[in-house]
Amino acid sequence: MSPALVFGLGTGRCGTTSLARLLDLQPGWEVFHEYFAYDLPADPEAARPFVDAFLARAARSRHEVVGDVFSAWLYSLDRILDRAPEARFVCLKRDRTGTVRSFDRWSGPRNFWVAHDGRRWQSDPWDHCFPKFAAVDKAEAIGLYWDDYYDRAETFAAEMPDRFRIFPMAALNHEDGQREITSFCGLPADRFRPLLRPRHNQSAGARHLQRP
């Protein structure tokens, strides 16, 4: 029998690393964090081979549940649902101000959210993983990205509440919230394993932001 599929979503800087760890911790579950890394583009057409490859990989797995957590899966959701209509989607949401501040700092000299020629901002392989917005500065572009992301997410959540749900980032911080997330993904309550230290990948002290 093919394993069930779970996809974790969220803008980024909103607990997706911890979400992947929580889901991967559950017995018989195999959930990655950014399985394709920067190879998975936001453009749904360009992402099609990656969707197909991930679903094929999942079908070969002997785990009960297979999944991946990455913001860009949101843009390929239609394709995923075409191929795997029973897939579940967990979307984390952090407040707009906190997300913008964290991403602004985390991205350093990069700006994933505007089209650029590499002169003002540093070109990066992650650039194509995000949609582009017309904005004067980076913080504004991140804000527009946040607005667009959760507009789409709320539409999906309203259309299919049994398969797509938005959870606040704070749900990861306590066992009840973690139980709610894993239960939505189909985990029986008696098999739940809590994630004891949920705050991973914090920007404070991030090595890539340290100047020489």
Using the minimum distance from each CB to another protein, give the nearer residue, 20 or 181: 20
**What single-letter amino acid sits at 145?**
Y
Among 1, 45, 118, 161, binds another protein (CB under 8 A): 118
- Per-residue binding string, another protein, 3-42, x by CB under 8 A, is --------------x--xx--x-----x-xxxxxxxx---
As measured in angstroms, the least distance from the Cβ of 115 to another protein is 9
DSSP code, position 62: -
**Amino acid letter, residue 64:** E
**3-state class of 66 per DSSP?**
strand
Phi, psi of 168 (to 5 degrees): -70, 150
How many Cβ atoms are within 10 Å of 126's Cβ, its own excluded? 15
For the chain, how many residues are written? 212
**205 makes contact with another protein (CB under 8 A):** no
CA 210 to the chain's CA centroid: 25
208 binds another protein (CB under 8 A): yes
CB 38 to another protein: min, Å: 7
Choose which of 101, 116, 132, 163 interacts with another protein (CB under 8 A).
116
Residue located via tokens 């607990």? 15
In angstroms, give the least distance from the CB of 37 to another protein: 6
Helices then strands, each counted (H, E), the chain? 6, 5
Question: Interface residues with another protein (CB under 8 A)?
Answer: 17, 20-21, 24, 30, 32-39, 49-50, 52-54, 57, 62-63, 108-110, 116-119, 122-125, 127, 200, 207-212
